[in-house]
Structure 1
Amino acid sequence: MGKIIAIANQKGGVGKTTTSVNLAASLGVLEKKVLLIDADPQANATSGLGINVEEVEAGSYQVLEHTIDPKDTIVATTSPNVDLIPAHIDLVAIEIELVDKENREYMLKKAIEGLAKDYDYILIDCAPSLGLLTLNALTAANSVIIPIQCEYFALEGLGKLLNTIKSVQKIHNPELDIEGLLLTMYDSRLRLSNQVVEEVKKHFSEMVFKTIIQRNVRLSEAPSYGESIISYDAGSTGANNYLSLAQELIQKNK
């Protein structure tokens, strides 16, 4: 059975989508079969893998609505071993539409239960909020990766996210684990970056991934070409960082 991992943080711009896309591509290159679910209305993971968002006819919106078999929404990507359930701008409306549904937090879990046997890993790219979409992802997941940027307000909001995870564990998904905290956008020349790394390690020691994602121009360029960093520039620091993260994740889940 494949492991379902949500990549979540209600703060925007911390590297959630960058991590979702490039971790998926790195796991794929390491010969793991991966499904990436884009559960963010901004659909950046979809366009980041070279899929034209305008042309998406069925995706995570229909999956959450239970109006289509999830298997029929899966598209192959140019990344080896990586499939995608794309997102569409319609996803914005899902929170309002699910509000009156019974068991609304379990819609994603129910929909993707049957897919886990076909993949080694299912990654869910969450929206930058703690709304119903993220709640669905956390209820469906076995674990969660939390990207934290090495910037001034890094730890702000982290408490809130950890409380949300606790209440999901208590009410909806007792099996939910924290896979790890991932430090992103690290710049070794900045004292601040180093302070954040120390601070996070001091508070969360064992929970922090050894791999740190460094600031890297190639990493920011790749999405505009609809490519993962692995296919855009396999020799870059960004590619090395994400391959190292993928190896760490595989090792951890042996």
Structure 2
Amino acid sequence: MPDGKIIAIANQKGGTGKTCTTVNLGIGLANQGKKVLVVDTDPQGDLTTSLGVKDIDDLPITLSTIMEKIIEDIPIKPQEGILHHEEGIDLIPANIELSAMEMSLVTAMSREYVLRNYLQQVKQNYDYILLDCMPSLGMITINALSAADSVIIPVQAHYLPAKGMTQLIKTIGKVKRQLNPQLKMEGILITLVEGRTNLAKSVSTTLREQYGSAVKVFKTEIPKGIAAAETSAEGKSIYACDKDSSVAKAYEAFTKEVLKDGEKQRHQSEPSLSR
């Protein structure tokens, strides 16, 4: 049985391509034969909508319902609330009820670990679990970071993120020190790259110079594309909508980078048999 690697896709700045990355990395991994669960941890429900779920406010079970059961110590069935997408991934949806859950967490016992306690129950069913984080550093995002093995930070190519990035990296460091010692920085993904503009090149160079020694910056950069914006309206991935586009090819290359890193980390963590 697999024992899923949990990756949080986080940036407290909105519009960086977090949800698009979660969808296309998730389905990219499924295309490579991996069992994948994606979790919407944003009350806006963008991931849920992007995967074609309609009337999200009428869903009987969402992440909020599941977290409430964990807090109340009510047993959860293994497949409870999990939706299946036609491109081979599973989804735990979210809607506006998650905002109220964030308030409930303030008084909950072991409040930072509620999501982790749930994911520990289902992760043996998956190779990868991807958490699409909301653009904030509130209690739900802290739950995601406390549950994760690693973090991917998508960053817009046309925006120098120095201040926001520093704050996010500090928060990740604090979670690692105080709540989740196993947490690793998977890497920074440069997204929404507009052609070969000087600004995009400048941001890419600056990120690699400023952070490259401490944090991996993925070789693959995701171009901005009209098709990518249209896929969420169709509830499908870029592979289903425009598999020959530059965006699809970039997400495929990025998926292979993530897989390669995962294999390398797994190999390093295995005890040597020759000792």
TM-score category, normalised to shorter length:
over 0.9
Post-superposition shift, 1:211?
0.9
TM-score, normalised to structure 1, is 0.96
1:57 corresponds, among 53, 60, 67, to 60
The answer to whether 1:226 aligns with 2:228 is no
Aligned AA (1:182): L
Aligned AA (1:63): I
Residue 163 of structure 1 is matched in structure 2 by 170
Contact preservation (8 Å) 2:160, 2:203: no
Q: How does 1:74-153 map to 2 (within 5 A)?
A: 74-80=82-88, 82-153=89-160
Residue 10 of structure 1 is matched in structure 2 by 12
Contact preservation (8 Å) 2:242, 2:248: yes
SS of the residue 2:86 aligns to: coil
Runs (5+) with no aligned partner, structure 2: 264-275
Cα gap change, 1:68/1:185 in structure 2, threshold over 3 Å: closer, same or farther? farther
Aligned residues: 253
CA distance in 1, matches of 2:63, 2:42: 9
Q: How does 1:189-208 map to 2 (within 5 A)?
A: 189-205=196-212, 207-208=216-217
CA distance in 2, matches of 1:59, 1:95: 14
Residue 42 of structure 2 is matched in structure 1 by 40
Greater C-alpha radius of gyration: 2
Q: What stretches of structure 1 move > 2 A for 4+ residues in a row?
A: 152-156
SS of the residue 1:72 aligns to: coil
TM-score, normalised to structure 2, is 0.89
Q: Alpha carbon RMSD of aligned pairs, Å? A: 1.2
Residue 216 of structure 1 is matched in structure 2 by 225
Deviation track 1:124-151 (CA, whole Å, cap 9, x = no partner) reads 0000000001000000000000001112
CA distance in 2, matches of 1:239, 1:167: 35
Contact preservation (8 Å) 1:40, 1:125: yes
Residue 243 of structure 1 is matched in structure 2 by 252
Runs (5+) with no aligned partner, structure 1: none
Percent identical across equivalent pairs?
40
